């Protein structure tokens, strides 16, 4: 027989029922596990400090060793300012193309059934695993002005791809192609079709449904994908170097300028340009880390 | 006496999950911890299993002090609401897990697994992965897995909570029969009073971190310690400042002389064999339930006047301030999910 | 951010619930057509051009190229170091993911950012960055520039996020119940890790390892300034390919590129198999 013993007579009013108690707390930690936790923490922090944090911070340090003079020198060098401008133009074009095709292909992959869907879905990821040098080579083989597959015909039509800006845009688009798609597809899958069907049943047409229901749902994923693509596009080096021919003041982008300045013993300029690129990419990462919780909350 | 819980306190930050709880759970019986969500019953179960540690207080299992023992050393079987299946292991390997940990000889393990899978009617599914089983089957596997280690006590945390109504009812009957077969001391947590009343030998009603009452299903139903227990175990209505069960109300078309109140019928709802009568008694709503035959005899219709009194032997408990009037509308609830208080 | 969808089962289930997807309409059909043409022009045709170019030289041409002493040395170095780095990543990546998921401490958020840096940082900058700590004027007195170790360090840097980011979501999704069940059945913390947690992580770890290997063997930018590109010693495959291209020998470049493409293809197929297996387990 069970019985209630020593239940406190002066009952204090407890908190309202229904407040979710954090149930998933782990049992009281024991000494050995605390030691292990600290050991793991130490290893991880040390590893990341020596592999990433310290080296990256050194670039900032080297750039500002003599105040702003390195940045000044770099930014008054016309070949560097040209390279920076070209990089921005190329990156914006690549991001725009990937945004349109990325969202489009994501919609097709998630919302429609067609033959070869699985193949397409697997091939989409291919650019992430292909060496930038292979990308450059592949584009030269097809669009090369002298003996590419399509190059000569395009050139006769007055359109130069290789050793010109379109080639750099293509190379950059290639390497960052999957980034928007990889972000949007899972979110699109997650939100399902119910809301869209509800909108359709309320009389919205396809465009209205997309603009008013689907797009708000995938908004953060798209922003996230765009930011990642931007970071990747600004930093493209290998593929762009091959297709551009790396002509200073004509087709040289910022990353190629870093290489050339460094090899020409203009280390200050090289570090300053590298710092600018690094600052943008770190900013992108920080933006993403702020967006991500938002996106997750939305799900 | 199998499980002795003494003066257990547990807080999560500012939230008091358990407030000085003491309880004795007898050996060999099937005990239900019943109460609304967030009332502390699962926390108590997890403290008994060692999955959570109490801030103060002690736990004894079969006379052994288990307060500071890790879950590994308590020899309890624990069954989770969402099965906690080891997804990468077959059904048989799931059941064998605890025995493999205990380094039992292989033939013994094999025999034990076969025996248990027969017991839970999963013998044809031994080589399947958990993902190939239905929810009910997964839960039976989890039960077999917990029983494999021959636990001192078997603890089940809302074991049927994730299953649909029909399977839930089947498994409930089956658990009762299984317990009659194996006789291991069993404690299960539920928020479903019907489940507790039907299956348990003994029910512990827990609310807001405290024990409200302990007793057999009959004791709880017939002699509720307070208005909370009464309203939690079944539908109630308020008459004259007291709580009474709607089916314990006697209705008459003329003054029987000893009526507690007079009311006007505001609504009639027929549900299967019974008729629910809603009355207006001096501006207060009172619910009563009568059979169809009674309803016909009384010639019930909306707007009619009825005299009301509790039948002889009706359970009557004084309503306190703890329960708001709105909480008493449990009469329309489907029982299983109705949590009449503290919303 | 680089995560392969190893955490797919929940999603697949949801997809099934949300009903069958539609067949193509006129508009979406047109969209698909345009997308496929664009994708072909940008990716598929150029990549097949590499294979075609290689096949033009025939088997013997292919063999002559890759058995060239300098090329073979570059391939050996690249694959060797990539394997080594992948092994390190399997351990360190899993450990980092573990700490990020299971531990709470001040600065964890910053650590998350640090892990993503190698993914976003331009590779040429990555090379410069490593050179400034592990190069000639190293503040810690370690100079690995122009050595094989520099290849290892560069690979380690650029592949850092892969295992971490594939394992992390899977680890976070793991059911606390399952570990508690194992504990109540008597399993020690180590046994729980080995027999319950690790098997659940293996697909994610393999996926991360595959990605990290693929990334390493194709790395170019970070090595340009760091490794010195010394033939037979620190020259990696990508650099070797580039020198073929610069010398106008596109056939030989294609032969080497074909090997890298095949590895990429194997990785993609492997990832697909892993994902399907995981979603079947559910």
Q: Are residues A42 and A190 in the same domain?
A: no
Q: Which chains touch C (3 or more CB pairs under 8 A)?
A: A, B
Dist CA B208 CA A13 (whole Å): 9
Specify the pLDDT at position C75: 92
For residue B28, give how far its alpha carbon lies from the nearest alpha carbon of chain A (Å): 12
List chain A residues with CB under 8 Å of B7.
6
Best of A51, A139, A188, A242 to disrupt the C interface (most C CBs within 10 Å) is: A51
Per-residue pLDDT for B339 more than 60?
Answer: no
Specify the pLDDT at position B124: 94
A123: domain CATH number?
1.10.3720.10
Q: Are residues C269 and C171 in the same domain?
A: yes
Residue in chain B nearest C277 by alpha carbon = B88
* Cβ separation A21–B38 shorter than 8 A: yes
* Cβ separation C117–A41 shorter than 8 A: no
Specify the pLDDT at position C265: 83
- Cβ-proximal residues to B239 (8 Å cutoff; 6+ apart), any chain: B249, B260, B261, B281, B286, B308, B310
Q: Is residue A63 part of a domain?
A: no
Residue in chain B nearest A6 by alpha carbon = B22
Dist CA A180 CA A193 (whole Å): 20
Q: What is the mean pLDDT of residues B134-148?
A: 92
Q: Are residues A39 and A126 in the same domain?
A: no
* Cβ separation B131–C281 shorter than 8 A: yes
Dist CA B310 CA B286 (whole Å): 12
The distance from CA A2 to its chain's CA centroid, rounded to whole angstroms, is 62
The two tokens of residue B278 are: 């809603």
Instruction: Assess A3–B contact: CB distance below 8 Å, yes or no.
Output: yes
Q: Are residues A187 and A51 in the same domain?
A: no
List chain C residues with CB under 8 Å of B161.
none
Q: Are residues C31 and C104 in the same domain?
A: no
Q: Is residue A69 part of a domain?
A: no
Q: Are residues A163 and A237 in the same domain?
A: yes
C149: domain CATH number?
1.10.3720.10
Q: Which H or E run includes B237?
A: strand B237-239
Least Cα distance to A90 among A178, A151, A167 occurs for A167
Dist CA A139 CA C45 (whole Å): 9
- Of C36, C55, C74, at which residue does a domain stop? C55
Q: Are residues C16 and C91 in the same domain?
A: no
Specify the pLDDT at position A30: 58
* Count of other CB atoms within 10 angstroms of residue B39: 29
* Cβ separation B84–C199 shorter than 8 A: no
For residue B52, give how far its alpha carbon lies from the nearest alpha carbon of chain C (Å): 10
Dist CA B334 CA C9 (whole Å): 34
Q: Is residue A291 part of a domain?
A: yes
Dist CA B42 CA B58 (whole Å): 17
Per-residue pLDDT for B25 more than 50?
Answer: yes
Instruction: Assess C182–B contact: CB distance below 8 Å, yes or no.
Output: yes
Q: Are residues A102 and A51 in the same domain?
A: no
* Count of other CB atoms within 10 angstroms of residue B319: 21
Q: Are residues C142 and C252 in the same domain?
A: yes
Q: Where do we find the tokens 């009563």?
A: B288
- Give residue B84's region: left, alpha or beta (phi > 0; psi -120 to 50): left
The two tokens of residue C24 are: 């193509």
Q: Are residues C117 and C146 in the same domain?
A: yes
Model confidence at A24, pLDDT cuts 50, 70, 90, reads very low
Model confidence at C136, pLDDT cuts 50, 70, 90, reads confident
Distances B122 to A52, A58, B46, B119 between C-alpha atoms, Å? 53, 63, 27, 8
| Total domains, chain C | 2
Least Cα distance to A86 among A173, A169, A158, A177 occurs for A169
Are B155 and B78 in contact, with CB atoms under 8 Å apart?
yes
* Cβ separation B13–A22 shorter than 8 A: yes
Dist CA B69 CA B72 (whole Å): 8
Q: Tens digits of per-residue pLDDT, A108-147?
A: 999 888 888 888 888 888 888 889 999 999 999 999 878 8
Q: Are residues A154 and A45 in the same domain?
A: no
The interaxial angle of helices A132-143 and C237-246, nearest 10 deg, is 30
For residue C19, give how far its alpha carbon lies from the nearest alpha carbon of chain B (Å): 21
Q: Are residues C47 and C93 in the same domain?
A: no
∠ CA C135-C139-C140, rounded to 5°: 90
* Cβ separation B343–A7 shorter than 8 A: no
Q: What is the mean pLDDT of residues A77-91?
A: 93
Q: Which residues pair with B77 in a beta bridge?
A: B154
Q: Tens digits of per-residue pLDDT, C38-77?
A: 999 999 999 999 999 998 888 888 898 888 999 999 999 9
Q: Are residues C45 and C164 in the same domain?
A: no
Q: Where do we find the tokens 């930050």?
A: B13
Q: What is the mean pLDDT of residues A256-265?
A: 91
Q: Are residues A185 and A45 in the same domain?
A: no
List chain A residues with CB under 8 Å of B42.
23
The length of chain A in residues reads 299
What's the order of all strands across the beta sheet hosting B76-79?
A: B76-79, B153-157, B185-190, B30-34, B202-207, B210-215
Model confidence at A8, pLDDT cuts 50, 70, 90, reads very low
Instruction: Assess C185–B contact: CB distance below 8 Å, yes or no.
Output: yes
Q: What is the mean pLDDT of residues C24-47?
A: 88
Best of A24, A56, A273 to disrupt the C interface (most C CBs within 10 Å) is: A56
Instruction: Assess A14–B contact: CB distance below 8 Å, yes or no.
Output: yes
Q: What is the Cα Rg of chain A in Å?
A: 27
Mean pLDDT lowest among A137-146, A234-243, B323-332: B323-332
How many Cβ contacts (< 8 angstroms) between chains A and B? 81
The two tokens of residue A140 are: 């030269």
Shortest CB distance from B208 goes to which of A1, A17, A22? Answer: A17
List chain B residues with CB under 8 Å of A30.
70
Shortest CB distance from C184 goes to which of B49, B82, B88? Answer: B49
Q: What is the mean pLDDT of residues C222-235?
A: 87
Model confidence at A167, pLDDT cuts 50, 70, 90, reads very high
- Cβ-proximal residues to B199 (8 Å cutoff; 6+ apart), any chain: B30, B32, B172, B175, B176, B188
Q: Is residue A101 part of a domain?
A: yes
* Residue ranges of C 83-142 with Cβ closer than 8 A to chain A: 92, 95-96, 98-99, 103, 105, 109, 111-125, 128-130, 132-134, 139
* Cβ separation A262–C128 shorter than 8 A: yes
Shortest CB distance from C261 goes to which of A26, A113, A130? Answer: A130
Q: Is residue A40 part of a domain?
A: yes
The two tokens of residue B184 are: 């291991």
Q: Are residues C194 and C156 in the same domain?
A: yes
Dist CA A225 CA C243 (whole Å): 34
Q: Tens digits of per-residue pLDDT, C173-194?
A: 888 899 999 999 999 888 999 9
What range defines the domain where residue C29 resides? Answer: 1-55
Q: Are residues A45 and A119 in the same domain?
A: no
The two tokens of residue B264 are: 């006007």
Instruction: Assess C180–B contact: CB distance below 8 Å, yes or no.
Output: yes
* Cβ separation B24–A16 shorter than 8 A: no
Q: Is residue A281 part of a domain?
A: yes
Q: Are residues C7 and C44 in the same domain?
A: yes
Least Cα distance to C252 among A244, A153, A133, A149 occurs for A133
Instruction: Assess C111–B contact: CB distance below 8 Å, yes or no.
Output: no
Best of C56, C125, C159, C257 to disrupt the A interface (most A CBs within 10 Å) is: C125
List chain C residues with CB under 8 Å of A193.
18-19, 21
Model confidence at B1, pLDDT cuts 50, 70, 90, reads low
What range defines the domain where residue A165 resides? Answer: 77-298
Per-residue pLDDT for C124 more than 80?
Answer: yes
What percent of chain A stands above pLDDT 90?
38
| Total domains, chain A | 2
The two tokens of residue A230 are: 């931007």
* Cβ separation C129–A55 shorter than 8 A: yes
3-state secondary structure chain A: CCCCCCCCCCCCCCCCCCCCCCCCCCCCCCHHHHHHHHHHHHHHHHHHHHHHHHHHHHHHHHHCCCCCHHHHHHHCCHHHHHHHHHHHHHHHHHHHHHHHHHHHHHHHHHHECCCCHHHHHHHHCHHHHCCHHHHHHHHHHHHCCCCCCCHHHHHHCCCCCCCCHHHHHHHHHHHHHHHHHHHHHHHHHHHCCHHHHHHHHCCCCHHHHHHHHHHHHHHHHHHHHHHHHHHHHHCCCHHHHHHHCCCCCCCCCHHHHHHHHHHCCCHHHHHHHHHHHHHHHHHHHHHHHHHHHHHHHHC
List chain A residues with CB under 8 Å of B19.
8, 12, 14
Are B48 and B153 in contact, with CB atoms under 8 Å apart?
yes
Q: Tens digits of per-residue pLDDT, C268-280?
A: 788 878 877 777 6
Q: Is residue A14 part of a domain?
A: no
Dist CA B72 CA C108 (whole Å): 31
Residue in chain C nearest B99 by alpha carbon = C185
Q: Is residue A213 part of a domain?
A: yes
Q: Which chains touch B (3 or more CB pairs under 8 A)?
A: A, C
Per-residue pLDDT for C7 more than 80?
Answer: no
Are C172 and C101 in contact, with CB atoms under 8 Å apart?
yes
Q: Are residues A48 and A81 in the same domain?
A: no
For residue A44, give how far its alpha carbon lies from the nearest alpha carbon of chain C (Å): 6
Dist CA B202 CA C86 (whole Å): 58
Q: What is the mean pLDDT of residues A275-296?
A: 83
List chain B residues with CB under 8 Å of C177.
80, 82-84
The two tokens of residue B107 are: 């033939």
In chain C the beta strands, taken as DSSP E runs, fall at none
Q: Are residues A38 and A171 in the same domain?
A: no
Q: Which H or E run includes B185?
A: strand B185-190
Dist CA A168 CA A86 (whole Å): 10
Q: Are residues C91 and C149 in the same domain?
A: yes
Q: Are residues C164 and C263 in the same domain?
A: yes
Q: Are residues C37 and C94 in the same domain?
A: no
* Cβ separation B214–A3 shorter than 8 A: yes
Q: Are residues A141 and A268 in the same domain?
A: yes
For residue B21, give how far its alpha carbon lies from the nearest alpha carbon of chain A (Å): 7
Would you call C248 exposed, middle or buried from its count of C-beta atoms within 10 A (0-12, 13-18, 19+)? exposed
Comparison of pLDDT for A41 and C271, the residue scoring more: A41
Dist CA B244 CA B238 (whole Å): 6
Dist CA A124 CA B23 (whole Å): 61
Q: Are residues A180 and A270 in the same domain?
A: yes
Dist CA C137 CA C123 (whole Å): 20
Phi, psi at B275, each rounded to 5°: -125, 125
Per-residue pLDDT for C80 more than 90?
Answer: yes
Model confidence at C132, pLDDT cuts 50, 70, 90, reads confident
Model confidence at A295, pLDDT cuts 50, 70, 90, reads low
Model confidence at B321, pLDDT cuts 50, 70, 90, reads low
């Amino acid at each position: 027989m069970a019985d209630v013993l020593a239940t406190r007579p002066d009952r204090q009013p407890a908190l309202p029922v229904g407040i979710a108690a954090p149930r998933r707390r782990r049992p009281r930690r024991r000494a050995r596990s605390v030691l292990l936790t600290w050991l793991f923490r130490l290893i991880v922090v040390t590893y990341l400090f020596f592999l990433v944090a310290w080296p990256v911070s050194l670039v900032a340090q080297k750039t500002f060793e003599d105040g702003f003079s390195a940045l000044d020198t770099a930014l008054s060098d016309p070949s560097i300012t040209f390279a920076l401008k070209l990089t921005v133009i190329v990156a914006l074009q690549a991001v725009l193309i990937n945004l349109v095709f990325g969202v489009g292909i994501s919609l097709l992959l998630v919302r429609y059934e067609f033959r070869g869907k699985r193949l397409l879905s697997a091939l989409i990821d291919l650019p992430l695993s292909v060496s930038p040098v292979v990308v450059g080579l592949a584009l030269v083989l097809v669009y090369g002005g002298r003996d590419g597959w399509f190059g000569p015909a395009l050139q006769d039509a007055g359109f130069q791809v290789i050793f010109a800006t379109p080639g750099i845009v293509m190379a950059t688009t290639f390497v960052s192609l999957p980034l928007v798609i990889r972000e949007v597809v899972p979110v699109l899958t997650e939100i399902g079709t119910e809301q869209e069907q509800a909108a359709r049943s309320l009389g919205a047409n396809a465009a209205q449904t997309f603009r008013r229901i689907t797009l708000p749902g995938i908004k953060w994923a798209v922003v996230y994908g765009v930011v990642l693509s931007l970071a990747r596009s600004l930093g493209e080096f290998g593929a762009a170097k091959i297709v551009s021919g790396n002509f200073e003041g004509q087709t040289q982008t910022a990353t190629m300028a870093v290489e050339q300045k460094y090899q020409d013993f203009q280390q200050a300029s090289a570090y300053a340009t590298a710092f600018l690129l690094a600052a943008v990419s770190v900013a992108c990462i920080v933006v993403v880390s702020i967006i991500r919780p938002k996106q997750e909350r939305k799900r | 006496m199998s499980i002795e819980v003494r003066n257990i306190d547990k807080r999560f930050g500012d939230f008091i999950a358990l407030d000085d709880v003491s309880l004795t759970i007898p050996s060999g019986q099937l005990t239900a911890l019943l109460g609304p969500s967030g009332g502390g019953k699962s926390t108590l179960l997890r403290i008994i299993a060692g999955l959570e540690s109490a801030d103060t207080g002690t736990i004894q299992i079969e006379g052994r002090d288990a307060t500071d023992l890790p879950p590994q050393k308590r020899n309890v079987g624990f069954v989770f609401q969402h099965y906690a299946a080891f997804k990468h292991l077959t059904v048989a390997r799931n059941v064998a897990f605890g025995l493999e940990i205990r380094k039992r000889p292989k033939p013994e393990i094999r025999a034990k697994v076969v025996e248990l899978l027969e017991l839970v009617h999963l013998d044809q599914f031994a080589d399947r992965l958990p993902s190939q089983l239905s929810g009910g089957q997964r839960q039976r596997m989890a039960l077999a897995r917990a029983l494999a280690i021959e636990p001192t006590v078997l603890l089940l945390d809302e074991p049927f909570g994730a299953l649909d109504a029909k399977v839930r009812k089947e498994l409930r009957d089956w658990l009762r029969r299984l317990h009659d077969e194996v006789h291991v001391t069993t404690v299960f947590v539920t928020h479903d009073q019907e489940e507790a009343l039907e299956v348990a030998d003994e029910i512990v009603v827990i609310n807001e971190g405290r024990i409200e009452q302990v007793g057999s299903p009959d004791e709880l139903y017939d002699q509720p310690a307070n208005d909370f227990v009464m309203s939690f175990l079944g539908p109630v209505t308020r008459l004259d400042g007291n709580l009474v069960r709607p089916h314990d109300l006697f209705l008459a078309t003329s003054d029987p002389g000893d009526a507690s109140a007079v009311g006007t019928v505001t609504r009639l709802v027929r549900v299967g064999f019974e008729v629910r009568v809603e009355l207006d008694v001096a501006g207060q709503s009172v619910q009563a339930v009568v059979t169809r035959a009674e309803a016909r005899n009384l010639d019930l219709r909306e707007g009619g006047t009825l005299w009301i009194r509790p039948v002889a032997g009706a359970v009557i408990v004084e309503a306190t301030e703890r329960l708001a009037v709105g909480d008493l509308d449990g009469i329309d609830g489907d029982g299983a999910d109705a949590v009449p208080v503290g919303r | 951010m680089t995560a392969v969808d190893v955490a797919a089962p929940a999603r697949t289930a949801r997809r099934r619930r949300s009903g069958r997807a539609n067949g193509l309409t006129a508009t979406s059909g047109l969209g698909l057509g345009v997308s496929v043409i664009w994708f072909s022009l940008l990716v598929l045709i150029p990549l097949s051009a590499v294979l075609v170019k290689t096949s033009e030289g025939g088997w013997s041409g292919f063999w002559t190229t890759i058995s060239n002493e300098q090329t073979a040395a570059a391939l050996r170095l690249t694959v060797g170091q990539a394997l080594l780095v992948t092994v390190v990543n399997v351990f360190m990546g899993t450990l980092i993911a573990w700490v990020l998921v299971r531990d709470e401490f001040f600065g964890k958020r910053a650590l998350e950012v640090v892990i993503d840096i190698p993914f976003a940082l331009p590779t040429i900058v990555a090379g410069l960055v490593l050179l400034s700590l592990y190069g000639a004027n190293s503040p810690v007195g370690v100079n690995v520039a122009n050595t094989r170790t520099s290849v290892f360090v560069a690979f380690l840097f650029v592949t850092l996020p892969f295992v971490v980011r594939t394992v992390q979501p899977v680890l976070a999704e793991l059911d606390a119940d399952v570990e508690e069940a194992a504990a109540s059945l008597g399993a020690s913390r180590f046994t729980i890790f080995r027999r319950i947690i690790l098997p659940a992580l293996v697909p994610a770890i393999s996926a991360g390892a595959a990605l990290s290997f693929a990334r390493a063997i194709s790395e170019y930018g970070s090595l340009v300034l760091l490794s010195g590109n010394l033939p037979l010693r620190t020259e990696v495959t990508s650099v070797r390919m580039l020198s073929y291209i610069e010398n106008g020998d596109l056939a030989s470049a294609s032969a080497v590129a074909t090997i890298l493409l095949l590895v990429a293809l194997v990785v993609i197929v492997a990832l697909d198999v892993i994902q399907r297996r995981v979603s079947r387990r559910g």
